[in-house]
Amino acid sequence: MSNDNQVAVVTGAGSGIGRATSIKLAGNGYKVVLVDFNPATGEETLNLIRNEGGECIFVKADVSNQDDVQAYVQKTVDKYGRIDVFFNNAGIIQKFAPFTTVELEEYERIMDINVKGVFLGMKYVIPIMLEQGRGSIINTASSAGIRPEHSIAVYSASKHAVIGSTKGAAIEYANKGIRINAVCPGGIVTPLFKSVGETLEKTGYVPEEMSPMRMGRHGEPDEVAEAVLFLASDKASFMSGSIVSVDGSLTV
């Protein structure tokens, strides 16, 4: 199937990795449905893509809200009639802090968006893909889903859960034409990543360990987008349940 007829849904499309991947998918012929709970940045991504002649729509949705998730799936089907690729990417980071100081509200917010959001997305996209008999889902986990960073245990737990959900769903749908993989970014320069440095500076909290960036640099969102583009495509036809690191060897 040519990419020109294919439809991709991207959550967290207003910023960072989601924006870079939306632009890359559109540049490679996919029609893209941009999902974000921030309409201002979502519309920015929409304009960036349309200015380059790409086809896309923006849908405001909170990925942790069941009604919103059903609505973005329905709007995609109403507009384009199918979902070939689902980049289930929206997520938030926790404040670096000792484990016992994390408030229950923060724990619940992180789990709601990072874990429940990924669950709800797959819950409502998979039935569409089952009807089509094909589809590729890429969940965004994290290097912290493989090896926790110091002082962000709750975030690490949420991303371990994304990996578990990816593998669990992958084995259920492997023989039904749906491939489900996870990408694990680490040290990618995005607004989320920059907010970590700013918060550490503001609070004065210093984690006991920090992972080394062995390539002597951080990563760019576009370097994650390339991996997602590959996993989305039929070039990755024998990959499902794979956990793909894009972290410059951080987790090795």
Q: Does 74 bind ligand NAD (CB under 6 A)?
A: no
* Residue in 26, 56, 83, 90 binding ligand NAD, rule: CB under 6 A: 90
| CB distance 196 to 144 below 8 Å | no
Residue 155 annotated among the catalytic residues of the structure: yes
Q: Give strand pairing partners of 57.
A: 33
How many residues bind ligand NAD (CB under 6 A)? The answer is 31
Q: Does 36 bind ligand NAD (CB under 6 A)?
A: yes
Owner of token pair 């990816």:
166
Q: Does 38 bind ligand NAD (CB under 6 A)?
A: yes
- Please list every residue from 222 through 251 that binds ligand NAD, using CB under 6 A: none
* Residue in 6, 7, 8, 14 binding ligand NAD, rule: CB under 6 A: 14
Question: Least Å distance between CB 29 and ligand NAD?
Answer: 23
Question: Least Å distance between CB 131 and ligand NAD?
Answer: 25
**Judged by CB, which is closer to ligand NAD: 60, or 167?**
60
| DSSP secondary structure string for all residues of 113-171 | IIIIHHHHHHHHHHHHHHHHT-EEEEEE--GGGTSPPTT-HHHHHHHHHHHHHHHHHHH
| CB distance 56 to 49 below 8 Å | yes
| CB distance 58 to 64 below 8 Å | no
* Residue in 89, 94, 165, 181 binding ligand NAD, rule: CB under 6 A: 89
| CB distance 141 to 181 below 8 Å | no
**Judged by CB, which is closer to ligand NAD: 6, or 114?**
114
Cα separations (Å) of 166 from 27, 163, 207?
27, 5, 29
* Residue in 6, 9, 12, 24 binding ligand NAD, rule: CB under 6 A: 12
Burial of 32 (0-12, 13-18, 19+ CB in 10 A): buried
Interface mask (CB under 6 A) for ligand NAD, residues 182-201, using x and -?
---xxxx-xxxx--------
Interacting residue ranges for ligand NAD, rule: CB under 6 A: 11-12, 14-18, 36-38, 41, 62-64, 89-92, 113, 117, 140, 142-143, 185-188, 190-193
Residues annotated as part of the active site: 155
